[in-house]
Chain A
C-alpha cells in the first residue's frame, strides 16, 4: 500500500469521509471511489451496484466493492436517482484500481438536492481527513 503523498486527489472532484468522490457530468453527478480507497482495498475483483432507477438517500449504502479478502460498502455521496452504471466494470473491475477517477467511474446519479454536492469536501479537506 502506498503512502498518502503518493496518492492522487484531483482538485476538480468532491470527496466524502467514506472515500467516495463525486463530480459534475452534464446534468448528472458521476460517482466513484478515491485513489486512497482503491489502494487500501488492493486488487478489486468485483463491484456490486444498484439497478438503474434506484432512488437512494445521501449516506445510504448503494453497493459493495470486493477485493480477494475483503468487502467494503459504498455509500451515496448525495441523494438521488441512479441513471447509469459503468458497463465496463462487469468484465474489468481492475479499472477502479488503475483509473479510479476516470475509466473506473461507477455510476451517474441525478441529484435531488444540489446543495449536498456543494457541501462535500474539496481535495484539501479530504487530504486533511486522511492525514488526520
Chain B
C-alpha cells in the first residue's frame, strides 16, 4: 500500500532489533478479553482509481449550481473562491503542519494566524480576536459562557431572530450549567423586540445576530443603550454573513463587547455545512477571559521579530479544569483560508463585493415586489430576505424544485407561525438572468 513504506525485509530487520519473532508479538500483552473476536469487516482496499470513480458517483447525486438554481443561505453561503487560494492552501508546509508548539519552525503558521487575528479585529471593530473557534454556533455558546465568567451573573438573553440551529447549540452547551436562557421575541419588522429587556435583571449578556436569520440588520444602537445602560450586561453580536460588514457598521463600532459568528463566507466552500470557522473577537479588557488560542508578537534571541502562541495559561493544557474553554484543535486551515480571502479582496474589494451582494438582493427584492410578492419584514436587509407566498405555497415550491429551482428555505420548520414564508438569498454568484427566472416562476 503506497502509504506504508515497510518492505518484508525491513520489517524482519526491525523485529529482530526489537527482539520480537512476529509483528503480532508486539501486541501479546493485550489481554484476550479486550481483543476483537472477528477480523475487521471492511471491504478490500480500493485503488486510487476505484476510489475516484466511487467518489465521482457519490458527488454526482448532489443538487448543485449551475444545474440547479439554489437561492438559499441561512448560514451557508455561495461565494466565489479564487483558484489562487485553493492552490495556496494545498502547500504541504501549510496544511500538513500542526499547532505551532515549536515556534522557530512554525513561523509560517504563526504569522498567518497573527495576520488573521488582526484582519478579524478590523472587520469586527474590536480590540482582540482569537485564532478561531469551530463554527459560528459554538462561538456564540462560548461567548455566553465567557460573559457569565466576566460578569458572574447567571442569566443570558438570546434573540429568537438568531439562527435557530445556533440557539439549539447554545441550549446544549448551557444545559448542564444551570444558567438560564431568556428568549427575546422579534417584532413585525423582522428585528428583535428589545422592549422585553426592560426590567430584566441579573443578565450576564444579551445576544443578537446582525444581519439576523431573516437577513434583517438589527438596531444595534438601540441594543447598546438597552444592554449597557438598562440591563448592565455584555453586548454580544453574532453573525452568519460577515461580508455584511463591508457595507454596514461593524459590531464593535456600535458598542459590542463580544462579536462572534460564522466565517464560511470568507473563502470556504459550503461543504455540506462544515468545516466552518468561528470568528471571535472582544474588547481588550476581557482578553484573559477569552477562550481559544492566541498568537502574539515578540522577538527572538537576535532581536528579530517573530510570533508565538501566548497567554496560554487560559487554556486547557495548562489550566485544565479551570480553563476558559476545553478547545484544543480549532479551525486553523479555515482561518488561513479566511485570511487569504480577506487579503485577496483587500479593503477596496471587500467593500465593493459587499455592495454588489446588497445590490443583487435589492434588485431581486424589488422585482419580486413589483410582481406582487409580499415582503413581510420592513427592516433593511443585506443579501438575504424573507418573502411570503400565498397559502398552499408548498405546492409551488415543489413545482419549482422539479424545475431545478430551490426558491429559498421554507421557514415553517423553524418558526411554526411563519407558514408560507421563505428565506431567499442571492450573492455575487447569482446572475441577473437567474433572478429574472425566479421572479417569473414565483409570480406566475
- Residue ranges of A at the interface with B (Cβ–Cβ < 8 Å): 45-46, 66, 68-71
- Residue ranges of B at the interface with A (Cβ–Cβ < 8 Å): 288, 312-313, 318-319
A45 and B312 CA atoms in complex are apart in Å by: 11
A-B contact count (CB 8 A): 14
List B contacts of A70 (CB < 8 A): 313, 318
A71 and B324 CA atoms in complex are apart in Å by: 13
A82 and B193 CA atoms in complex are apart in Å by: 44
Given A45-B313, A46-B288, A66-B313, 11 further pairs, Cβ under 8 A: A46-B313, A68-B312, A68-B313, A69-B312, A69-B313, A69-B318, A70-B313, A70-B318, A71-B313, A71-B318, A71-B319
Closest to A45 in B: B313
Instruction: Rank and list the top 6 A-B pairs by shortest CB-CB distance, nearest first.
Output: A66-B313, A71-B313, A71-B319, A71-B318, A70-B318, A69-B318
A71 and B319 CA atoms in complex are apart in Å by: 7
Distance to closest chain A CB from B317 (angstroms): 9
List A contacts of B288 (CB < 8 A): 46
A129 and B313 CA atoms in complex are apart in Å by: 29
Distance to closest chain B CB from A47 (angstroms): 12
Residue in B288, B312, B313, B318 whose Cβ sees the most chain A Cβ within 10 Å: B313
List B contacts of A45 (CB < 8 A): 313
A to B CB contacts below 8 Å, 14 in the list: A45-B313, A46-B288, A46-B313, A66-B313, A68-B312, A68-B313, A69-B312, A69-B313, A69-B318, A70-B313, A70-B318, A71-B313, A71-B318, A71-B319
Closest to B320 in A: A71
A69 and B318 CA atoms in complex are apart in Å by: 7
List B contacts of A68 (CB < 8 A): 312-313
Distance to closest chain B CB from A68 (angstroms): 7
List B contacts of A46 (CB < 8 A): 288, 313
Closest to B319 in A: A71
A87 and B331 CA atoms in complex are apart in Å by: 38
A85 and B320 CA atoms in complex are apart in Å by: 28
Closest to A70 in B: B318
Distance to closest chain B CB from A113 (angstroms): 28
Closest to A68 in B: B312
Residue in A46, A66, A69 whose Cβ sees the most chain B Cβ within 10 Å: A66
List B contacts of A71 (CB < 8 A): 313, 318-319
A66 and B312 CA atoms in complex are apart in Å by: 10
List A contacts of B318 (CB < 8 A): 69-71
